[in-house]
Structure 1
Amino acid sequence: MEYETPLFFRVMEYASQAEGDVIDMVSGNPDWEPPQALRDGLHEYADREPDAFQYPPSEGLLELREEIAARRGVDREQVVVTNGAGEANYLAMARALERDRGDEIILTDPVYPYYPGKTTMLGGTQSFVAANENGQLDPADVCEAASEETAAIVANSPNNPTGAVYPEETMRKLVAIAEEYDAVLISDEVYDHFDLSGNFSSALAVDSDHRIVTNAFSKSLAITGFRVGYAIFPPELVANAKSRHMLVNVAGSRPSQYAVLQALCGTGPDYYERNRDRLRERVDAFTDALDLTGAEYTTPEGAFYVMARFEGYPGTLENVFELIDEAGVAGMPGNAFGDSRSDWLRFALVTPRVEEAADRLAAYFE
């Protein structure tokens, strides 16, 4: 079996080799400071006894799992600390397919491209349900696509790439569909701290044995390099997930988990609110400048991405390369996220040069 290298890496590699100054709006790496409590925790950890530098428990540090469980209202035995949200989603999708209820995984279009890649890697088949023009997912469309072959439904809210935030009614109906077809709803909530609308609803609000919630601290604490995520499984599904996690990774990073725990315990809500305010300002600045180009664009309800469509300029990899060379702005081609947004480009607002990037785009398309 052959796996295609994600387009993210091809775009970033091209941008890194380009001549001249290029503003990176490709990857979701927050450019702001992590919490001070996290830095303090790392400094403290460096002076600990030698046993602190050995393997942690495979499922994660007990204290971190307890903290996550308390915050999410679940039993700590349901929590598996993972190598970022990427592994959390991998474990969740694998667990859904292992139930032998079918091999189909329902995904949205547009879609975060790692989901279909993981589906292929795990031997599943992909089925896509188109989101509407605002990125919202209609549960009726999901229900129509579901069948006895459906193993899982993957939902991502706040959504990458559309910025849509699914309301509580949508999440409840998606769980109900999973229950009806004896499938599993996998709810990727990695951008939950970047809900700009106030409408975010976790799948954990629905008491069900047919939903798995995944998350990570990569975005919320601005530490994508720490690779600390987690998955919350129903009690009857968690044991095999822990075993697969142990076989794939043995364990995660003990210092990273310790630092995350210190950050959770020592960081107040104002940290997250400041970053949401920062993103609101960037969305306004970026879209105001896009108005000058006559572009059509999405205004995100959450996460930190804007999709834009420039007349006569489809979202192909070749056009992305051209923007890097001619405008000095690196974004992602819309066709990386599926068929429905192939005319669009996606830009990550995790750079202090957001307004400058938009001005460059305006100058290029004027």
Structure 2
Amino acid sequence: MNYETPLFFHVMEYADAADRDVIDMVSGNPDWQPPDALREGLREYADLEPDRFQYPPSEGLLELREEIATRRGVDADRIVVTNGAGEANYLAMARALERDSGDEILLTDPVYPYYPGKTTMLGGTQSYVATDEAGQLDPDDVRAAASAETAAIVVNTPNNPTGAVYPAETMRELVAIAEEVDAVLISDEVYDHYDLSGEFASALEIDSDHRVVTNAVSKSMAVTGVRVGYAVFPPGLVANAKSRHMLVNVATTRPGQYAVLKALRETGPDYYERNRQRLRDRVETFTDALDAAGAEYTSPSGSFYVMARFDGYPGTLENVERLIDEAGVAGMPGEAFGDSRTEWLRFALVTPCVEEAAERLARYFD
């Protein structure tokens, strides 16, 4: 079986090899500081006894799972601590397909490219439901597309790449559809702390044996390299998810879990609000410049991203490479996210150079 390397890596390598300075707006790596308590936790860990550097419990440190459980209103034994949200989504999709209730994974268009890649790796087939211009998903469209062959419906809210935040009614309907066709709704909520609209609704608010919620601290604590995520499974799916996690990864970083636990306990809401405000300011700065460049663009309700369309400049890999060479700005081609946004480019606002990038784009497309 052939696996396609995500275009993210190609674009980043191309930008790194450029003969000029390039502003990286490709990947969602926050440029701001992690919580102080997380740094303190890592320092503390360095001085612990040798036994604390050995294998942790495979499903995650009990104290961390209990902390997450309290915050999310679930039982700790339903939580698997994973190597980021990426593994959490992999485990959820694998469990959905192992239920022998179809081999179709229903995805949105546009889509975060790792979902179709994981579907291929797991032997499933992809089908897509288009979102509207604002990135919102109409449950009626999902219901029309779902069938007895649908093993899972995978959604991401707040959304990458559109910035859409699905309201509570949409989430309730998606869970209901999963129940109707005996599928699993997999809700990737890794950007939940970057809801800029106040409309975010977690799928955990709906009690069901047909939904899995995935998350991580990668984005919320600006530590994509620490690799601590988690999945919340229904009781009937969690045991085999733990077994697969053990066979694939054995366990997740013990020092990282320790530091994340300390940060969860000691980091106040002001940390997250400061970073949301930082993003609001960057969205305004960036979209003002897009206005000056005569571009169409999305106004994100959450996550890190703005999609833009420049007249006569479709979102191809070739055009992204031209933009790197000629404007010094690296974004992602819209074609990487499916068929519906091939005229668009996606920019990640996780760089302190947002204003300079915006000015470069305005000059380039003037």
Q: TM-score, normalised by structure 1?
A: 1.00
1:20 Cα deviation after fit: 1.1
What does residue range 92-241 of structure 1 map to in structure 2 within 5 Å?
Answer: 92-241=92-241
Letter in 1 for 2:325: D
Distance 2:316 2:182 in 1: 38
1:53 Cα deviation after fit: 0.4
SS in structure 1 of the partner of residue 151 of structure 2 = strand
Distance 2:34 2:241 in 1: 30
Which residue of structure 2 aligns with residue 39 of structure 1? 39
Which residue of structure 1 aligns with residue 260 of structure 2? 260
Distance 1:161 1:48 in 2: 41
Which residue of structure 1 aligns with residue 345 of structure 2? 345
Q: Say yes or no: does 1:299 pair with 2:296.
A: no
Deviating 4+ runs (over 6 angstroms): none
Q: Say yes or no: does 1:50 pair with 2:15.
A: no
1:260 Cα deviation after fit: 0.3
1:329 Cα deviation after fit: 0.1
- How big is each residue's C-alpha offset from its partner over 1:57-103, in whole Å with a ceiling of 9 and x where there is no partner? 00000100000000000000000000000000000000000000000
Distance 1:172 1:64 in 2: 28
Distance 1:318 1:358 in 2: 20
- How big is each residue's C-alpha offset from its partner over 1:29-72, in whole Å with a ceiling of 9 and x where there is no partner? 00000000001111111000000000000000010000000000
CA RMSD of aligned residues (A): 0.3
Distance 2:213 2:178 in 1: 13
Letter in 1 for 2:195: D
Letter in 2 for 1:116: P
Letter in 1 for 2:46: A
**Structure 2 stretches of 5 or more lacking a match?**
none
- How big is each residue's C-alpha offset from its partner over 1:308-357, in whole Å with a ceiling of 9 and x where there is no partner? 00000000000000000000000000000000000000000000100110
Distance 1:209 1:157 in 2: 20
Distance 1:293 1:179 in 2: 46
Q: Say yes or no: does 1:330 pair with 2:311.
A: no
1:170 Cα deviation after fit: 0.1
Distance 1:318 1:236 in 2: 47
SS in structure 1 of the partner of residue 108 of structure 2 = strand
Distance 2:62 2:157 in 1: 28
SS in structure 1 of the partner of residue 80 of structure 2 = strand
Letter in 2 for 1:21: D
Distance 1:7 1:52 in 2: 38
Letter in 2 for 1:64: L
Aligned pair count?
A: 366
SS in structure 2 of the partner of residue 352 of structure 1 = coil
Letter in 2 for 1:314: P
What does residue range 44-83 of structure 1 map to in structure 2 within 5 Å?
Answer: 44-83=44-83
Distance 1:301 1:263 in 2: 26
Distance 2:271 2:255 in 1: 22
Which residue of structure 1 aligns with residue 364 of structure 2? 364
SS in structure 2 of the partner of residue 178 of structure 1 = helix
SS in structure 2 of the partner of residue 80 of structure 1 = strand
SS in structure 2 of the partner of residue 33 of structure 1 = coil
User: What is the aligned-residue identity percentage?
Assistant: 81
SS in structure 2 of the partner of residue 105 of structure 1 = strand
**Structure 1 stretches of 5 or more lacking a match?**
none
- How big is each residue's C-alpha offset from its partner over 1:100-119, in whole Å with a ceiling of 9 and x where there is no partner? 00000100000000000000
